[in-house]
Every structure is written in structure tokens, then in C-alpha cells.
Amino acid sequence: MEREIGPEYELNEIDGGTLHGSVGSRLSLFAREFKWRSSSWHSSSALRLPNNCYGSSFVIDPNGRWYRMWSNMMFLWSIYSVFYTPFAFCFFRGIPEHLLDLECVQLIFLADVAVHFFLAYRDPHTHRVVYDQQRIALRYIKGSFALDMLGCFPWDAVYKFTGRMEVVRYLVWLRLYRARKIQGFFKKMEKDIRISYLFTRIAKLATVELYCTHTAACVFYYLATTLPPAREGGTWIGSLAMGDQSYINFRKVDLLTRYITSLYLAIVTMATVGNKHSRRHAMVMCMR
């Protein structure tokens, strides 16, 4: 005896076109939702500047493609600047004429100063992008404008114009403030989930170690040049003798050899207890 099927259990035939349309509509909703979420990350109103913000005022989008290209280029020039600055200060008393063309790089950093007067920023309190030109300029002037501008000064020309005053040369170290761009780059890489955090930390540690070794090598050589020429033979580099080569007149040795020798001393000093080849009457340099 067949049991009677209630209306709530009856099966209804579904048209194939209706099923296809239902699945398609759900997929389209999912695609539209995913598209909205992905676009909200890259091009939401919180990250993009409106085209008509404050009339015809010119404001640079910090998340725009052109500024990202500019910031990447400035990151590379910042690496060059922070490595070249201690080298030029310690190995030269005034940059030679054949290296003066390298000072033209300061024009690029001067252009970056101008860019920051039009670069929008995110307010730390409201978390909204500020694209008022007056507020942008005022914030930059109160912030890093002074150090950025002083770093662009041609200190080598000022040093020669003032009668080679040694105090003026020390102002070139203000350019090391550009290292904050390198620090910002690594911070951005650490937050990027597409890049291994461990790899980023190792690369950051290797960069710091390389820069510390380079700077220490430059400073060690500079300390050897602070003594009068008659006493330079008692410095760590003036007392060296490697094979047939003597470093008594080390200023006449080619630049690359002097740098490699200073780099060797820096590595040996930081990795071990010091340079065993230095004589007892050589200059003693302590590191904490």
C-alpha cells in the first residue's frame, strides 16, 4: 500500500535555465563582493584623493602609482647617500674635482623636498587623508623640512669658501637623516604578507651590519688622519707593513687599498679583540 506523499514533500522540477541563472547570480554576487573588497583596499575613498579636492589645488596622492615609483627611486638614492656620506667625509679633505659630479645628486633630494609640500598625509587622530595644501605645508615645515633642507646644502663648497674650516665638514653628517627612508622601506616590507617576515628581518640585519662595518672603517681611517703628518707613522695604518708594501706614507696609497685596509681593521676589531698586527705605540681606539 503506497503511502500518500504530503504536499510539503513533493518535488518540483526546476528549469535548467532557472538553475543556471540562480548559480550565475550567486557567482556574480560573490565576484562583485570580492571586486568591491579588493578595490576598497587599493582604490577606496579613504586611500584615494578626490579629483576636485579644494578646487584646482595640486595635491599628490601618497598611494598613487607615480609617487610609489618616486619613493622607490628615492629609496635607492638614500642608500647611496648614507653610504657615500661617511666615505666622502673621512677619506677626503674636500671632494676631488673628478668626484664633484656626484654632488649633483643633492638636486634630486631638493626635488623631493618640493614634493613633500604637496604630499597628502593621513591624520593620526581622525585617520582621514588630509589634502589641504596649507595644512600639508605647515606639517612638513614643522617636521623634517629643516633637516631635509640642510642635507641638500653643498657643504663641500661651503667648506672651501670658508677657508677649509673643519667644523663645516661635520655638517655633512646631517645627510644621514635620509636613512629614515630605508627604515620606512623595511617597515613596509615587514607588514607585507606576501614577503616572508623572517627573510625581511635577515635582510634588515645584514644591511645594518654592513653599514656599521662600512662606517666604522671610514671613522678608523679618519682618526688616523687627525694627527700631524710627522706622527702619522704611529697610527694603526701608518705602522702596517704587508709584505713589501709599507703604509708609512699611507696617503699616497691608492684609495681602494686604503678603504679595504680600513674595512679589514673594522671587521677584525668588531669580530674579535682587535688587530694583532698593530704595534703597542699605535693609537688605541675603544669601542663599547
Per-position pLDDT tens, the chain of length 288: 455 555 555 555 545 554 444 444 444 544 454 444 444 334 443 344 444 444 446 899 998 999 999 999 999 999 999 999 999 999 987 677 777 788 888 999 999 999 999 999 998 888 898 989 999 999 999 999 999 999 999 998 899 898 888 889 899 999 999 999 999 999 999 998 999 999 999 999 999 999 999 999 999 999 999 888 888 888 888 888 777 777 888 888 888 999 999 999 999 888 776 555 554 444 444 444
The domain boundary residue, chosen from 141, 171, 195: 195
Q: Could you list the residue range(s) of the whole structural domain that residue 144 is in? A: 65-195
Bridge partner residues of 241 (DSSP): 246
Q: What is the pLDDT of residue 136?
A: 94
Q: Is residue 257 part of a domain?
A: yes
Identify whether residues 69 and 87 lie together within a single domain. Answer: yes
Query: In total, how many domains does the chain have?
Result: 2
Do 171 and 155 form a contact (C-beta atoms < 8 A)? yes
92 and 164 share one domain: yes
Residue of 200, 198, 219 whose CA lies nearest to 208: 200
Query: Are both 174 and 79 inside the same structural domain?
Result: yes
- Asked whether residue 15 is domain-assigned, the answer is no
Are 167 and 231 contained in the same domain? no
Domain-embedded: residue 44: no
Same-domain check for residues 156 and 241: no
At 179, which helix (H) or strand (E)?
helix 179-191
pLDDT at 37: 40
Question: What are the CB-based long-range contacts (under 8 Å, 24+) for 263-269?
Answer: 263/213, 263/214, 263/217, 265/217, 265/220, 265/236, 265/237, 266/213, 266/214, 266/216, 266/217, 266/220, 267/213, 269/216, 269/220
Four-point Cα dihedral 76, 80, 85, 91, nearest 10? 180
Q: Distances in Å between the alpha carbon of 34 and those of 29, 41, 46? A: 8, 11, 18
**Domain final residue pick, 195, 227, 247:** 195
pLDDT given for residue 180 in this prediction: 93
| pLDDT value, residue 275 | 54
Question: Does the residue 42 lie in any domain?
Answer: no
**Is residue 71 in a domain?**
yes
Clarify whether residues 191 and 207 are in a common domain: no
How confident is the model at residue 92, as a pLDDT?
86
- Please check whether residue 18 lies inside any domain of the structure: no
Q: Which three cell numbers stand for residue 3?
A: 503511502
CB distance 221 to 91 below 8 Å: yes
Mark which of 195, 224, 239 sits at the end of a domain. 195
CA distance 62 to 48: 8
pLDDT recorded at residue 277: 53
Same-domain check for residues 159 and 209: no
Alpha-carbon distance values, 21 to 11, 17, 36 (Å): 20, 6, 22
Do 220 and 133 reside in the same domain of the chain? no
In a domain, 242, yes or no: yes
Residue 157 in domain:
yes
Q: Are residues 185 and 123 in the same domain?
A: yes
Q: Are 205 and 258 contained in the same domain?
A: yes
Is 176 found in the same domain as 218? Answer: no
Cβ 120 vs Cβ 131: under 8 Å: yes
Identity of the amino acid at 41: W
Co-location of 164 and 222 in the same domain: no
List strand residue ranges (DSSP E) for 124-270, in order: 129-130, 241-242, 245-246
Q: pTM for the whole thing?
A: 0.72
Tell me the C-alpha to C-alpha distance, in Å, between residue 50 and each of 6, 126, 136, 137.
61, 18, 16, 19
Q: What pLDDT is stored for residue 124 in this prediction?
A: 87
